[in-house]
Chain A
Amino acid sequence: MKVLLSKPGLDGHDVGVKVLAHGLIEAGYEVVYTGLRKTIDEIVQMAIENKVDAIGLSILSGTHIFLAQKMKEVMDEKKLTIPWFVGGNVPPLDVAKLEKIGASKAFPTSTKIVDVVNYFKESLPNPSEGGTFVVERNK
């Protein structure tokens, strides 16, 4: 099971995304990291090329709504159904907004790594053997 972790926009805060990368690797996932300052188009292109099962967007500059809308547009344009997630500096009220735009889930700062990993495990039952990604949309 492969996860693409990405840094869209100009935000350079990459401590969290790298911490999550370590957490996911330890839990048995394969992680591809884009590096800083990628456009949404570049991220989606990398997701296609690497045949990933999920895409994580890490955003701490407050640009999450704008970038999520762009993500939704590009995903629809390319008719892709890969589930995507947002992590970072997301105010409580914006969590639902992001999920309404199309993110499978939004993880605000101070979310525990183990909670993210558990969420992934529930959605990806056998990380090391591969499996189908099941997304449970928050009601």
Chain B
Amino acid sequence: MNTKNKIKHTAEDLGVKKVYLESGIEVNPIYTAEDVENSNSKHEMPGEYPFTRGIHNTMYRKRPFTIRQYAGFASPEETNERFQFLIANGQSGLNVAFDLPTQCGLDSDDPRAMGEVGRVGMTVDTLDDFEIAFKNIDLDKITVSLTINGSAIIAIAMYIAMAEKAGYDISKLRGTAQNDILKEFIGRGTWIFPVDKSVKLVIDTIEYCAKHVPKYSPVSVCGYHIRESGANPIQEMAYAFCIAKAYTDGALSRGINIDDFASRLSFNFDIYGNLFEQIAKFRGGRRLWAKIIREEYLAKNDDSCWLRMIAGGGGGGLTKEQPENNIVRSAYYALISALSGTQTMALCSYDEAYTIPTEHSAEISLRTMQIMIHEMGICDTVDPLGGSYYVEALTDKFEEEIKKEMKTVDKWGGIVNAVATGKIQESVSKQAYTREMGMQTGKVDKVGVNIFTREEESKPIEFHPYNQEAADKQVEKLKRIKASRNNELVKQKLDTIRKDAKEDKNLMPSIIEAVKEYATVGEIVQVMKDVYGEFKEPIFF
């Protein structure tokens, strides 16, 4: 094109203020065909490599995204009740929250668990708790996602043991576990063992599932918490891809075929922020991931190259001020997620920043997604923004920038080293400070916080009360189980875990055997701590 006739479309050309996305990318006021002149995007099709426009050719026309709200309450009984409620209301997947003692590998009767039992999710001491929580839930029809990391290997073992005992064929058992320990060191913080041993345990679950539970997705790599900890959208994707590559390398080192592993890998990303920036993040990320899996790992199958994701949450964008505004924000976030071609969606409820969602607020989230599916025509056409000059140009830019950021991690000695030394934590936490100050000083607009604020006291929010009685009952039950199980057998099973850990064997088989005899989460973790030691947190801020 003749440069003399170049269309005026930059901020400078048009004499308007410059605009930058959170990722630092400058946005022009107008985009034209010129911006995508050299882009391959015009040849891309949904369901075709590199899947920029979506991993399936028919996407939501065939089946809308799965709605999978995060749920979990104090006791396994209460959790089971909530699951029944969600299923009765049309939810097709279950996302299980666990309490912090379970996530950190402590039993309910541990002194460090006092005041925390059942507070932020379901308590699990033994297999008995899994058996109660999933009673009368058809595991063939509902996909269950376990939100657990540090002690994930035990939770997955319990899920498999529970299903096996209930008569399911585990070779057909579906479901996912979060089980992304590397991001726990960056945000969320439920690590237990040193970084290298933690990664080893993730690889153990991958190897075991690839061989015995092939339909189960043992890892969901989370950019989500990295973003919530302060990362920008480029870093969110870049760090998540580096983490996913670390697990992939581990799986390959155990002799697993790339096509057997990559097709079970899923991702969890965040949806708050600038609408177009997030959409480009997902589209560009999807293209880059497909290229990594095909070009670097030489995967043959198309489905290995799919960036399967849950794009949801958005907690970082919600505010305590004027909390009802969060209902509106979440509806936009849901739109971002749908326009990005997600497989699964979950929204933060408007009160989630301060409490566990009430039944009422959880219902609003569910209805938000259902209104979008059934009234807005969101499922009619695949990738409706495909071909938009702006979205395609930004998608290309994101692919390039994510790739660049991944190289930065390489310079830090790779993701495992960057996490163990605190390099990533340091950079993310500095950004969180800059972001927070930007909001507090009014550099970044936030409705109800620094613009359009109002003086009057916000409506008091309902809080989920702590149930001491349920916690006490859990401790009593644990005592009962410890008294009634075959303790000699439990000791033998724990010794086998110890022996396998020392010999650096895959721990899944011995843990499954131990949980079947009702060995507790705390007992198993203690054995592993004895052999592996514990993570020493590098203090960076």
Contacts A15-B228, A19-B436, A114-B440 hold; do A9 and B539 have CB atoms under 8 A apart? no
In the complex, what distance in Å separates the CA atom of A9 from the CA atom of B189? 12
CA distance A113 to B441 in the complex (A): 10
Which B residues are within 8 Å of any A CB, using their own CB? 100-101, 103-104, 106, 112-116, 119-120, 184, 187-190, 228-230, 319-321, 353-355, 429-430, 432-433, 436-437, 440, 449, 460-461, 463-464, 466, 537, 539, 541
Chain B residues within 8 Å of A22, by CB: 429-430, 433, 541
B319 touches A10 (CB 8 A): no
Q: A14-B229, A15-B187 are in contact. List 4 more A-B contacts (CB 8 A).
A: A13-B188, A22-B433, A62-B463, A91-B354
Residues of chain B contacted by A13 (CB below 8 angstroms): 188-189
Are A62 and B541 in contact (CB-based, < 8 A)?
A: no
Evaluate contact between A109 and B100: CB separation under 8 angstroms. Answer: no
Bound complex: CA A66 to CA B119 (Å): 12
On whether A10 and B541 interact (CB within 8 A), knowing A22-B433, A37-B104, A109-B320, the answer reads no
30 A-B contacts (beta carbon < 8 Å): A10-B104, A10-B113, A10-B190, A12-B188, A13-B189, A14-B187, A15-B187, A15-B429, A17-B541, A18-B541, A19-B432, A21-B541, A22-B430, A22-B433, A22-B541, A23-B437, A35-B537, A61-B100, A61-B119, A62-B119, A62-B466, A66-B115, A89-B353, A89-B354, A91-B354, A91-B355, A91-B461, A92-B460, A109-B354, A110-B321
Complex Cα–Cα for A137 and B433 (A): 28
- Residues on B with C-beta less than 8 A from A89 are 353-355
Complexed CA–CA distance, A125 and B447 (Å): 34
Closest Cβ of chain B: how far from A78's Cβ, in Å?
A: 19
CA distance A14 to B432 in the complex (A): 11
- Complex contact B429–A18 (CB within 8 A): yes
Interface of A is mostly: loop
Q: CA A8 – CA B484 in complex, angstroms?
A: 34
- Report B255 CB to chain A, min CB distance, Å: 34
**Cβ B189 vs Cβ A33 within 8 A:** no
Interface Cβ pair total, 8 Å cutoff: 95
Measured between beta carbons, the chain B residues less than 8 angstroms from A61 are 100, 116, 119-120
A contact residues vs B (CB 8 Å cutoff): 9-15, 17-19, 21-23, 31, 33, 35-37, 39, 61-63, 66-67, 89, 91-92, 108-110, 112-114
Check B112 against A39 for contact (C-beta < 8 Å). yes
Instruction: Choose from A10, A14, A15, A33 the contact partner of B100 (Cβ within 8 Å).
Output: A10
- Give every chain A residue within 8 A of B100 (Cβ-Cβ): 9-12, 61
Pairs A-B, 3 closest by C-beta atoms: A12-B189, A66-B115, A10-B100
Closest beta carbon of chain A to B187's beta carbon, Å? 7
Of all chain A residues, the one with the shortest Cβ separation from B465 is: A62
Chain B neighbourhood of A14, CB < 8 A: 187, 189, 229, 429
- Roughly how many angstroms separate A72 CA and B285 CA in the complex, as a whole number? 50
Please indicate the chain A residues that have their CB under 8 angstroms from the CB of B119 in the complex: 61-63
Q: Report how far A33 CA is from B433 CA in the complex, Å.
A: 16
* Contact across chains for A110 and B319 when beta carbons are under 8 A apart: yes
A9 touching B429, Cβ below 8 Å: no
Partner of A19, one of B321, B433, B461: B433
Instruction: Name the residue of chain A whose CB is nearest to the CB of B537.
Output: A35
With both beta carbons as reference points, the residue of chain A lying nearest to B102 in the complex is identified as A10
| Residue numbers in B under 8 Å from A112 (CB-CB) | 440
Residue pair B539, A35 in contact (C-beta under 8 Å): yes
CA distance A91 to B537 in the complex (A): 30
> Taking the nearest CB of chain A, how far is it from the CB of B13, in angstroms?
38
CA of A41 to CA of B320 in the docked complex: distance in angstroms?
32
Q: Which residues of B contact A36 (CB under 8 A)?
A: 189, 537
Q: Quote the shortest CB–CB distance from A18 to chain B (angstroms).
A: 4
Q: Give bound CA distance, A31 to B541, whole Å.
A: 10
**Would B187 and A113 count as touching, CB distance under 8 A?**
no
Task: List chain A residues, Cβ under 8 A from B320.
Answer: 108-110
In the complex, the answer to whether B120 meets A113 with C-beta atoms within 8 Å is no
Partner of A10, one of B101, B437, B449, B463: B101
Residue in A closest to B430 when the chains form the complex, CB atoms: A22
For residue A35, which residue of chain B has the nearest CB? B537
